[in-house]
């Protein structure tokens, strides 16, 4: 994965699946590869083109892996989540990792994609009756959009019914306080536990 050899990655995924390897183990290996890509990008060893290529490889690998993940869920139905990258941001690698881990752990995930306007999140939450909204944003300018999205929830009279988790880039507790979110996730793995906790708080 880290070497962005698409054919080798896809072939390995198929081989592991046919050999009965736990799909969660395969997902973990894909994540490790994506983490290495991110580290190389931060050290200027990889550039934007490699980042985009790696995301495409991950997406294609997930298309093969997702059916096995869904049939081998480690837990029963965990609840509904609406997720998306906020308006003004088109980054999706981290979000897609979170989506993959959530789905594999029993969550019904409604992924709105990237560059999502506040009102679109509100519409989908109303449509699905999901109890958790996950907002992703990699660049600092998205903090204001996250705040605006949460304000739109309040205006729609839905804020008390929906827990909001945020993640991406430099997000920490100070950004949670600024945006009015409930919590932040550091990575895809922690997002699963966080989502479970937030859903439990809505019951």
CATH code at 91? 3.40.50.280
Residues 171 and 128 in one domain: yes
> In this predicted structure, what is the pLDDT of residue 134?
98
Query: For residues 113 and 150, what is the distance between their CA atoms, to the nearest angstrom?
Result: 18
Residues 63 and 148 in one domain: no
Query: For residues 142 and 94, what is the distance between their CA atoms, to the nearest angstrom?
Result: 15
Write out residues in the chain with pLDDT < 70, as ranges: 73-76
Say if residues 171 and 135 touch (Cβ distance below 8 Å): no
Domain that holds residue 39: 6-71
> In this predicted structure, what is the pLDDT of residue 52?
85
Say if residues 76 and 106 touch (Cβ distance below 8 Å): yes
Residues 161 and 64 in one domain: no
Q: What is the DSSP letter of 91?
A: -
Is residue 105 included in any domain, yes or no?
yes
For the whole model, what pTM was predicted?
A: 0.82
Is residue 99 included in any domain, yes or no?
yes
Sign of CA dihedral 190, 199, 95, 77: positive
Query: For residues 108 and 130, what is the distance between their CA atoms, to the nearest angstrom?
Result: 9
- Displacement of CA 44 from its chain's centroid (Å): 24
Judging by beta carbons within 10 Å of its beta carbon (0-12, 13-18, 19+), is residue 148 exposed, middle or buried? Answer: middle
Residues 120 and 182 in one domain: yes
> In this predicted structure, what is the pLDDT of residue 74?
56
Residues 85 and 157 in one domain: yes
Residues 105 and 60 in one domain: no
> In this predicted structure, what is the pLDDT of residue 75?
56
Is residue 34 included in any domain, yes or no?
yes
Token reading at 135: 């907002």
User: What domain count does the chain have?
Assistant: 2
> In this predicted structure, what is the pLDDT of residue 169?
84
> In this predicted structure, what is the pLDDT of residue 73?
66
The tens digit of pLDDT for each residue in 129-185 reads 999 999 999 988 999 999 999 999 999 999 999 999 999 988 999 999 999 999 999
């Amino acid at each position: 994965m880290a070497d962005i050899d698409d054919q080798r990655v896809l072939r390995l995924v198929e081989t592991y699946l046919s050999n009965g390897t736990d799909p969660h183990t395969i997902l973990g290996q894909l994540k490790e590869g994506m983490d290495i890509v991110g580290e190389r990008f931060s050290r200027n060893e990889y550039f934007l083109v490699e980042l985009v290529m790696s995301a495409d490889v991950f997406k294609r690998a997930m298309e093969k892996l997702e059916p096995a993940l869904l049939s081998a869920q480690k837990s029963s139905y965990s609840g509904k989540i609406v997720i998306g990258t906020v308006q003004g941001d088109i980054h999706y690698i981290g979000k897609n990792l979170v989506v993959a881990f959530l789905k594999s752990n029993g969550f019904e995930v409604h992924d709105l994609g990237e560059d999502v306007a506040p009102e679109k999140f509100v519409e989908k939450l109303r449509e699905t009756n999901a109890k958790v909204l996950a907002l992703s944003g990699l660049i600092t300018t998205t903090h204001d959009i996250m705040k605006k999205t949460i304000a739109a929830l309040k205006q729609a009279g839905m804020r008390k019914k929906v827990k909001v988790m945020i993640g991406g880039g430099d997000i920490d507790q100070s950004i949670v306080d600024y945006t009015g979110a409930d919590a932040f996730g550091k990575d895809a793995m922690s997002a699963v536990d966080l989502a479970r906790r937030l859903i439990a708080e809505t019951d």
